[in-house]
Structures are given as C-alpha cells and as structure tokens.
A and B are shown apart, each in its own frame.
Chain A
Amino acid sequence: MEKPSYHLESSFDAEWHFFKSISEQKMIEKAVIFTPIDKENGIYELIFGDLENGIVNVKNVSHNQDTVRVLTTVIKTVYLFFERNPQKTVIFMGSSTARNRLYRGLISKLVDEAIDYFEVLGTNSDGLDEVFVKNKDYFAFKIKLKQ
C-alpha cells in the first residue's frame, strides 16, 4: 500500500480508528469502528462515517475531493484490524446506494491489491456467500484473512 493515506489514531486492539480528511475547503473527522456483532463466530462489523460531536454519521457524502486517500486510509485500518485480530471476520454493508458504491470500490481496491492475503465474499440478501465479483450488487460484504 504505497498510495497516500491519512494519519491514523488507533486503539491498541485496532477496533477504533480516527483520522481527518483534509482539503483546502474543509476538514472532516472520520471514524472507523470495528464492533462485534457475533462474538461466537468472531464476526465484526466495520462502521465508517463522519464523526460529528461524538456521533458517527454514516449517511454523509463529504465531497472533499479525497476519496482515494480516504479509501486507502480505511483499507489501512482493515489491515491493522486483521494484524491484531487474524482469526476474525469483518462484515459491512452500505447505508445508502452511494455508500454501497463506496464500499464496493473499497472491496475492489482490496481485491486488486491483496487478494492473495484476503478471502473476500459478497453476501446476497438471502444470506448466501460467494466469492466477491466486481460490479455485482450485494447485501453485505465479508473479509477474512486466508488461513
């Protein structure tokens, strides 16, 4: 991962991350939170959004002209999470069509850059997993380290 990313502030267990998206126009505080949703099976949800007065807002579309840098930074949090939690599975879904596109872009980048390392799945609305196919719509996405 050699593309520019933003400086991260991270918790030691790599479950919480904060960074600032900065352009000439504005500065937006971002949060990436990995929160357990099925502890028995080690499944964590990735929640990504703007941090506004302590509230994580996943609905905003920032238009801060730095999508690639933001995505690269989020991918770095994914790497870091798996570095600290190699047995876990990360699941996430978009909060809107725009956010789903963002997540699909995130996954596509990850597939291009690190498919040898990660198992990337798309989950349809019936809950069935398949190997992620670019540009295909899914209800949710799952990532885990190849073992």
Chain B
Amino acid sequence: MKKIGKVPDFDHSDITFIADLKSRQITLGNEAQKKHNELVEFVKRTKKLNPKVELTEV
C-alpha cells in the first residue's frame, strides 16, 4: 500500500552521501544560466495563475 506524501521505495545502496559535496566549486554554463533566469522570470510572472486550492472543513 502506498503511503501518502512518501516517495516509492527505491534502492539506496548505490548512493553515497557526502557531507561537503556542496563545497565543490560548480557554476552554471551560459545556457543553463540563461534558462535558469528565464524560468525564474516565468515563475515570478505566472505564479498567480495557479493558486493553491485551499480545502475548507465543513
């Protein structure tokens, strides 16, 4: 039975968690940065179009 709000079971045995992984110096290439900026603007511009549905208890 699936659990609401959980991901499916999957194999973690081939995952190595590294504490300082995010200290690696990486940067986005030109195209990645351009797409990132485009997506940031897109989300900012359109965020009101898809308001969250609020459930009301009756």
Contact = CB atoms under 8 A, between A and B. Distances in A.
A128 B39 contact: no
A27 interface: no
Interface in A57-83: 57-59, 76, 79-80, 82-83
A9 B18 contact: yes
Given A49-B29, A93-B38, 7 more contacts: A12-B17, A15-B22, A16-B22, A38-B43, A49-B32, A54-B25, A82-B7
B50 A58 contact: no
B31 A128 contact: no
Interface in B3-49: 4-8, 10-11, 14-19, 21-22, 24-29, 31-32, 35-36, 38-40, 42-47, 49
A133 interface: no
Contacts of A91: 39, 43
Contact of B29 (A43, A55, A86, A114): A55
Interface of B: 2, 4-8, 10-11, 14-19, 21-22, 24-29, 31-32, 35-36, 38-40, 42-47, 49-50
Contacts, number: 129
A76 B39 contact: no
A126 interface: yes
B40 A37 contact: yes
A10 B31 contact: no
B56 to A, nearest CB: 16
A86 B5 contact: yes
A35 B36 contact: yes
A133 to B, nearest CB: 17
A59 B33 CA distance: 11
Contact of A31 (B2, B26, B47, B50): B26
Contacts of A139: 42
Given A45-B39, A49-B29, A58-B35, A127 B4 contact: no
Interface string A1-42: 100011111111001101000000000000101010110010
